[in-house]
A and B are shown apart, each in its own frame.
Chain A
Amino acid sequence: MVRYPSAVLSFLVMSEFFPIGILFFFACAVAGGILFVDSFFGERRPNAVKGSTYECGIETKVDARRRFHVRYFVVALLFILFDVEVALLYPWAVLFRRLGVEGFIMVGIFMALIVDGLVYAWKKGALEWE
């Protein structure tokens, strides 16, 4: 039914992105080729100092995989909640003028409920870092 090879091919050749595709291909080929050649001819003498983590010239103190404090989770949780509720505002924003004052009041009530939650979290000290 859908003839992929020809469709894909014609799309590729006809499209204005074709030159960019060629550029992309050569960029990958050159970068990959140099790495490949280097792995044959390059010299390798690893030691402890070379292998250590580089952090802007500052000596590393602890392992990167350590436990995060619980307050990171609290902030992350609150962020997820208030962040995603914004998704519900997009349709309103697109039709802002056509929905008029009534729509504005409705969204105002919705936001008031969310802000109520934010104030509650604030008052309860969920946003305090120390």
Chain B
Amino acid sequence: MPAPLEYLAVSCILFGIGIAGVLTRRNLLVILMSIELMLNSANLAFLTFSRLHGQLHGQVIAIFVMTVAAAEAAIGLAIVVALFRQTGSVRIDEATRLRG
């Protein structure tokens, strides 16, 4: 059986990709996907640790996080659609009215 370290490495890499995606990408939908990626990388870490400690806590948390992620995705998409109707674009560069 592979060591848990490898799963952890994957989880950390996914989290890093998510953060990098939020910081560098300009397309709102890609940013939304990056946020989902971060949440799911945490899920992978929870499951790994759950297996490592031989407990169920981590798996229970993962189910909760899945539902929270779905709610967050729904709200995010709703906001993007609302902004698209206003500006006709899904690029974050367009959202620059508030400055200072």
- Out of A1, A2, A84, A91, name the residue touching B67 (CB < 8 Å): A84
- A interface secondary structure, majority: helix
Q: Mark A78-91, 1 if CB is under 8 A from B, else 0.
A: 00110111011011
Give residues of chain B (65-94) contacting chain A, Cβ–Cβ below 8 Å: 66-67, 69-71, 73-74, 77-78, 81, 85
The residues of B with any CB-CB pair to A shorter than 8 Å are 2-3, 60, 63-64, 66-67, 69-71, 73-74, 77-78, 81, 85
Let me know if A27 is at the binding interface, CB within 8 A: no
Q: Are B70 and A81 in contact, CB atoms less than 8 angstroms apart?
A: yes
| Docked pose: A67 CA to B85 CA in angstroms | 13
Q: Which residues of B contact A83 (CB under 8 A)?
A: 70
Q: Are A91 and B71 in contact, CB atoms less than 8 angstroms apart?
A: no
Q: Are B3 and A87 in contact, CB atoms less than 8 angstroms apart?
A: no
The smallest C-beta distance from B76 to any residue of chain A, in angstroms, reads: 10
The residues of A with any CB-CB pair to B shorter than 8 Å are 1-2, 70, 73, 76-77, 80-81, 83-85, 87-88, 90-91
**Contact A2/B3 with A70-B81, A88-B63 known, Cβ cut-off 8 Å:** yes
Can you list 20 A-B pairs, Cβ within 8 angstroms, ordered by A? A1-B3, A70-B81, A70-B85, A73-B77, A73-B78, A73-B81, A77-B77, A80-B74, A81-B71, A81-B74, A84-B66, A84-B67, A84-B69, A84-B70, A85-B67, A85-B70, A87-B67, A88-B64, A88-B67, A91-B63
